[in-house]
Structures are given as C-alpha cells and as structure tokens.
Amino acid sequence: MKNFKRLTIFLVIATILLFSFLLVRYFITKDHGSDAKRDYKEIKKDGVLKVVISTNPIDYFIYQGQPMGLQLEMLEQFVSSHNLTLEIIVENDPEKGIEMLMNRECDLLAQTVINTADRDLIVDFTTPVRQTKQVLVQRVPNAKSNEGNQSIDTLIRDLSDLKSKTLYVRKGSANLKSLNNLASELIQNFYVIEIDSMPDEQLIKSVSDGTISYVVCDYNIAKISQSYFSNIDIETDLSFPQNISWCVRPESVVFLDTLNNWLETYIDSEDYDRLLRKYINNNRILVDINSEFYSGNEGRISAFDEILKKQSKIIGWDWRLLASLIYEESRFNPAAVSWAGASGIMQLLPVIAQKYSDPELTGTEAEIHAGVKYLSFLYNQLPTQVADSANKVMFVLAAYNIGPGHVEDAMRLATKYGKDAGSWEDVSYYLINLSNPKFYNDTAVHHGYFPGMYSVDFANSIANRYKHYVNIIPE
C-alpha cells in the first residue's frame, strides 16, 4: 500500500511538471504569434541566417586584425554548406540573447550557452557543440601580483572553505543560480557578485593582479588565461561537465533538425577536430589576450588606428573599413612588397604613390594618405548609375585591386546583357567572367582578359571582415 501511495504521488508530481512545461511552451508560442513563424523555410527564403554570438577568446574575437573563433568558423561552415549568408549580432548576456531569439531578432543563439533545465523550458538546444565545466580561479599562494595587495594563504580545494569568501561571476552566467544553491546546500554563506562590464579574461586578470580573489568561469577560457597569468590556479571544479549548445525557438522544428543533422556529421569530422586543436586543445599560444590588438583587451586593430581615423575622413569612410582594406593588402606591414612592385602598407605602385603624395607627410602616414587619395579618385570616377553607397564601396575596392578599366568593362557587359550596371551582385558576375573568351572578346570589353575572380574575392573579403570589425571594435 505504501508503495502504491508513493507511486501515486510520483505520478501526480510528474503530471504537474509535464503540464507546467507544456503550459510554458504554449504561452511562449502564443505570445509571439503563429503568424510570424520563422523556421528553416523562411530562413532559406531570406537567404540570411541571423545569429547572436558572444565574444570571448574561444568563440569569437579579433586578433591582430583577423576575425577568429571556434563558433565563428563552425557557423561559417554551416552557412556555406546550406547556401546561406551569415549575419552576426554580438550580445554577451545570455538572458538578453534568449529574449532576442524569442522576439525573432535572430534565428540562432551561439552564445556559449550552457544547457540548463530552466532554459530548456524556453528554448530548444541543439546537439552540443562542445563541453566545459566551471572552475574557481584563484591566485597561487605567495605568488607576486602586478598590482593590489590582497594575499591568499592557501588554495581552496574543499567547497566548505568558501565560507565568507566573495566570488565574482560574469553577468548572465548560468552559474549564478547554481552558486546560490551551492551556498544554501553548504549552509555556508559566501557571496556572489555579478559583473557586467568585464569579460571573463579580464576578471581573471584582476585575480592575477590581486584586485579580486576569486572568479568562477568556463574552464577553457581559464586554461587559455593561465598561459598568460602563471600565478593563477584553476584546478578547483565548481560543476560537473556541462554541454554548450546552440539554441533555437521551439517553433523552429525543421531548423533544429537541420542543425542537428549537420552537427552530428560535422562533430565527427577532421575539420571539427582541427578547430578544437586550434582554439581549445592547443599546446602553443594562439592569442595573446594581453595584447592591445586582442579585441577583448584594448580592442585596437593595428598600430595605425589613429592615423586611419584621421585619413579616412578624406573619403568619408568608416576607419574600420579602411583598416580592413589595409589588412587585406599588407597585414599592416609597411615593408610588404608584391611581385608586381606595389609596396608599403597600402600596396601602392610607385606611380600612384608619387601622384597622390603629400610633401608634408612622411612614413606610414604618407603612404596611407596617398592610398586614401587614390581611393577618393576611384570613388569620383564611378559612373552615375552606381548610386547605392554600399555598391559604390564594392566597386571602389575592386578598382583599387585591378584598376578602374576592368571594372568599367564588367559594367558595360552588365548593361549589354540586360543586368544592372549599378549592382555589385550583377557586375561581379561579369568581372569574374572576364577570364572567359565569350566575354573578354566581346566588343563591350576595352581592356581585354583579366582573372576577375581574384578582385571579386578581394572586395568581398574586405567587406566581410569589415562587418566583424563593426561587430567587435568600437568606433
């Protein structure tokens, strides 16, 4: 009889929990309206996958001008295999990210979101993209700190030793609730402070400096940080292994299946293993998180940022677009020389550098000035049918790479074949085909053969990198 009563109570509780789960799902769907449903069909129709992602030294960051990250590369692989364009929105607070997802401001969350039961009531998790655990970051006893004077006598290994300690955690972290529960279970008061203005790696630096004593964060980020802050300890676990997954809305059933089918294959691939070796299981230092050119630190793109901000005003460009062009040309190396004789940070031919030089400027600033003046010349040479500003930028970038003559040839071909000579999408097709005899022998072509695919890749690469700069690097 007792067993029967227990079974009855269990079934009642299970029924209540199931009903509550279904009720939450119902109101989530109801509140956001079925008429605005957005699943894989709608994403494919738009051709754009909108993803919210967080910045950290594993998943998404810029280092020495190059956009990098495990999640970034995985997302690029996914959209490439599904013929989609990736649009990234940066948001580091997971709770805000979930709100954006449910409001259909994005299609996918890739925020290093840890699978939790609370979140599972709201969103659907994909197959895990990686695993982690939460660790306590503390300073090694008697280790020297760069600043501050807090001292630690012993390392915490037993959780009961957390009594009266203050732990810092990044705002929005899934750890906050579990830490509060832990404090309650231990019947030992320790204090948890949320920080919303600093990424994990900066919090860890504060431990190393002695400004604060304890931080709770992702083990993989702590491991990377330990390469630079040798006086920190990360061996005390505060959680079991945790799955990190992408998230979609409950309505996106087909999209979830599409993601899971792709992930199940991709995670078994050599390319996925390569990413893990590159960003997580890496015995060599990949990124110096102390560098001023790491986006999570000072966030500079190059040593020439101030010059770029000044000189970009000549053409009215965002300085970050000019930085992306220079990265493509020379990787910010003033000593770079090409096989064609172009040299310097902007890879100018001597005749161009001489024509647009300013006698009052010297060194790298003189080179940048000449390059910007040449860009301005190309901009003013564009035919009137190129009216849209975004298209203008792409035409100028291509012309900077190969000269305006071949670009004008592609525009004439577009007009001849009934396409829009002011559209980069249309003109780039003919630019690519200037290596095809059918087109370079056409009477509309005045400058003959050219392998235009390289110029199209050149312009597209600069534009895509610029989007990442806008996402991460402050204006």
Packing angle, helices 389-402 and 453-472, rounded to 10: 130
Quick one: pLDDT at residue 262? 98
Per-state percent for the chain, helix, strand, coil, to nearest 5:
50, 15, 35
Share of the chain above pLDDT 90, in %: 69
d(CA 467, CA 475): 12
Packing angle, helices 319-330 and 453-472, rounded to 10: 130
d(CA 336, CA 327): 11
Topology agreement, domain 134-239 and domain 305-472: no
Quick one: pLDDT at residue 23? 43
Q: What is the pLDDT of residues 220-276, one digit of tens each?
A: 999 989 888 989 999 999 888 999 999 999 999 999 999 999 999 999 999 999 999
> Options 1.10.10.10, 3.30.420.10, 3.40.190.10, 3.40.50.1110; which CATH number does 28-128+246-279 get?
3.40.190.10
Residue 289: Cβ within 10 Å count? 25
Torsion angles phi and psi, residue 406, rounded to 5: -70, -35
Any idea of the CA torsion for 144, 147, 149, 155, to the nearest 10 degrees?
Answer: -50
Residue stretches of the chain with pLDDT short of 70: 1-35, 143-153, 172-178, 180-188, 283-284
Contact assessment for residue 336 and residue 347, using Cβ atoms and an 8 Å cutoff: yes
Quick one: pLDDT at residue 188? 60
Give CATH for domain 134-239: 3.40.190.10
d(CA 219, CA 136): 9
DSSP letters along 96-130, please? HHHHHHHTTS-SEEEEEEEP-HHHHTTSEE-S-SE
Quick one: pLDDT at residue 148? 47
Quick one: pLDDT at residue 114? 86
What's the CATH architecture for 305-472? Orthogonal Bundle (1.10)
Quick one: pLDDT at residue 67? 97
Q: What is the pLDDT of residues 49-104, one digit of tens each?
A: 999 999 999 999 999 999 999 999 999 999 999 999 999 999 988 889 999 999 99
Where are the chain's structural domains? Answer: 28-128+246-279, 134-239, 305-472
Quick one: pLDDT at residue 28? 45
pTM of the model: 0.86
Residue 149: Cβ within 10 Å count? 7
Q: Where are the alpha helices (DSSP H) in 136-187?
A: 175-186
Give the Å distances, CA to CA, from 127 to 122, 260, 265, 465.
16, 6, 11, 29
